[in-house]
Amino acid sequence: MPFSKFFGRGRDAAPAQPPTPEVDSPAEDEGVDVADLEEVDDASAESASQRTWRERAEAVLPTGASTGSKRAAALWGESADAGLPTHMLSATGCRVVDVDGETYIDCTMGLGAVALGYAEPRVTRAVVDAASQGNVGALSSWREVELAERLHALIPCAERVQFLKTGAEATAGAVRIARTYTGRQRVIASGYFGWHDWSSEAEGVPTAARASTVRVPYDDVSALERAVSDAGTDLAAVVLEPVVERLPGEHWLRRARELCDATGAALVFDEIKTGFRFSPGGYQEVSGITPDLATFGKALANGYPLSAVVGRAPLMEAARRTWISSTLASESTALAAALAVLDWHEEADVCATLAETGRELRGAVDRAIAASGVGGVTTQGVDTMFLLRWEDPARESRFLAEGVRAGVIFKRGAYNFAAIAHDEEALREIEAAASSALVALVESERSR
């Protein structure tokens, strides 16, 4: 029996390109059934094809982009020029091509998820090989075991490993494990941990969830000590990003370790950005302070969706007493990508190269700032993931717009990330684009 009998029409009846209604069409205003859109006439289809990708995105995605930092306003500012790029066609090395065929050097590198380079050949081959063998099935992929074994050998606290897909998901899982292990509820947090209820103060988060987490400023030892004292015997975990825009003070992580030891709480490091960028073993390997639990993601799989909760065996065994699971947690293509990333780290000092490249990238921007004489802007933070700090957000927006017109995508706020793919040619182009953008900013201000 043909499938069209069940689903309404066969493959031959499918349109080559789904029609897109006008923003003010009856389909939006009157709730027309989706099936009726099949009868959109040629004139409507022609009008739809004239809409920009940004307009089309804002018509069907509630915020215009599923990743918050890739919304047009987040990229370029609230009053951004409608002609600035918002959607990509492809990415290779450190360059992305937008839907209009324009090529840009990328200093965001997928929000830090890509440390080697886009479409890195070894990673791509591993992913294609895994996909060709079927990326999911009734059984777990063998790659899950091999990757867990290799992470166990690399990361100081990783006596056990559990995989998930996103950084926010992994850190939420670590908090669940800490609460299960300790039998307590309260959490002290310092850093950004994604959108999940335990760490968010956004609308829609239950009051009880907000009340169970207390935030303290980064690197503020006194505030941490007060929060631990206030939590008393109900403290389940202290959850920290070990690096937030700058390196921590000497006593920050050590004092967190001491307080958790004294109270029986779990110390959790969110190493989503620092893992496989500062060191394969994360900032815990650099600092010598070993947490009870840690989460990794981003550069772990060079942009493929994979995260990991790792930790000491007694705590990780608590995962058996709660429920942390995801249908695609052991999907093979992301595991294959991570195994290829680990091969890179075994054969070359990737993190040292990232640090050196970051110094050169940041230096290129610093030279452009100095040569232009523009004030109110500095580079700050750690070389491999530095920030462009503007005193005036409006000037920042104009700089970003001029930068992308000159061929480089700089990141608003945190962070600009170095990648192995930022070669000498790219660095020269970044300096030239930054210079061009700053000169254009000065000229526009003079003409007003």
Helix segments in 141-277, DSSP class H: 142-154, 167-182, 207-211, 221-231, 252-263
Q: Are residues 306 and 389 in the same domain?
A: no
Domain membership of residue 357 (yes or no) is yes
Judgement on whether residues 271 and 385 belong to the same structural domain of the protein: no
Angle between helix 332-347 and helix 142-154 axes, rounded to 10 deg = 40
- Give the integer Cα–Cα distance in Å for 185 and 175: 9
**Where among 320, 347, 374 does a domain terminate?**
347
Who contacts 3 (Cβ-Cβ below 8 Å, separation ≥6)? 10
CATH at residue 326: 3.40.640.10
188 in Cβ contact with 227 (< 8 Å): yes
Final residue of a structural domain among 332, 347, 362: 347
Helix/strand/coil for 121: helix
Quick check: is 40 in a domain? no
CA angle centred on 165, ends 420 and 236, rounded to 5°: 110
Domain assignment present for residue 421? The answer is: yes
**For tokens 């066969």, what's the residue?**
10
**Dist. CA 66–CA 71, nearest whole Å:** 8
Q: Do 417 and 409 contact (CB within 8 A), yes or no?
A: no
Give the CATH number for residue 376: 3.90.1150.10
pLDDT at 25: 35
**Helix, strand, coil distribution of the chain in percent, nearest 5:** 45, 15, 40
DSSP state at residue 410: P
Q: Is residue 32 part of a domain?
A: no
- Total number of domains in the chain: 2
pTM: 0.88
The last residue of a domain, from among 318, 347, 376: 347
> Whole-angstrom Cα distance, residue 365 to residue 379?
8
How much is the pLDDT for 43? 40
ω into 192 cis (within 30 of 0): no
Q: From first to last of its 448 residues, what are the pLDDT tens digits of the chain?
A: 443 333 333 333 333 443 433 333 333 333 334 344 344 344 444 455 678 999 999 999 999 999 999 999 999 998 878 889 999 999 999 999 999 999 999 999 999 999 999 999 999 999 999 999 999 999 999 999 999 999 999 999 999 999 999 999 999 999 999 999 999 999 999 999 999 999 999 999 999 999 999 999 999 999 999 999 999 999 999 999 999 999 999 999 999 999 999 999 999 999 999 999 999 999 999 999 999 999 999 999 999 999 999 999 999 999 999 999 999 999 999 999 999 999 999 999 999 999 999 999 999 999 999 999 999 999 999 999 999 999 999 999 999 999 999 999 999 988 999 999 999 999 999 999 999 999 999 998 888 7
Q: Indicate if 182 and 213 belong to the same structural domain.
A: yes
Residues 168 and 186 in one domain: yes
Same domain, residue pair 342 and 358: no
Which DSSP symbol is given to 198? G
Quick one: 93 and 147 in the same domain? no
* 34 lies in some domain: no
Alpha-carbon torsion 47, 96, 395, 65, what sign? positive
What is the rounded end-to-end Cα distance, in angstroms, of the chain? Answer: 71
In a domain, 59, yes or no: no
Beta bridge partners of 106: 409
Q: To which residue do tokens 């937008």 refer?
A: 98
Backbone angles phi, psi at 402, to 5 degrees: -70, -35
Asked if residue 384 and residue 343 are part of one domain, the reply reads no
Residues 365 and 252 reside in one and the same domain: no
Q: Residue 419's domain spans which residues?
A: 88-101+350-446
Domain for residue 16, yes or no?
no
* Residue 180 shares a structural domain with residue 234: yes
One domain, residues 236 and 125 = yes
Q: Would you say residue 425 lies in a domain?
A: yes
> Alpha-carbon distance 448 to 444, whole Å?
7
Q: Are 211 and 218 in contact (CB under 8 A)?
A: no
pLDDT at 49: 65
CA pair distance 392, 396, nearest whole angstrom: 6
Same domain, 202 and 335: yes
Looking at the structure, tell me whether residues 420 and 296 fall in a common domain. Answer: no
Predicted confidence at residue 243, as pLDDT, reads 98
Q: What angle do CA 342, 160, 197 make, to 5 degrees?
A: 95
- Alpha carbons 311 and 322: distance in angstroms, whole number: 16
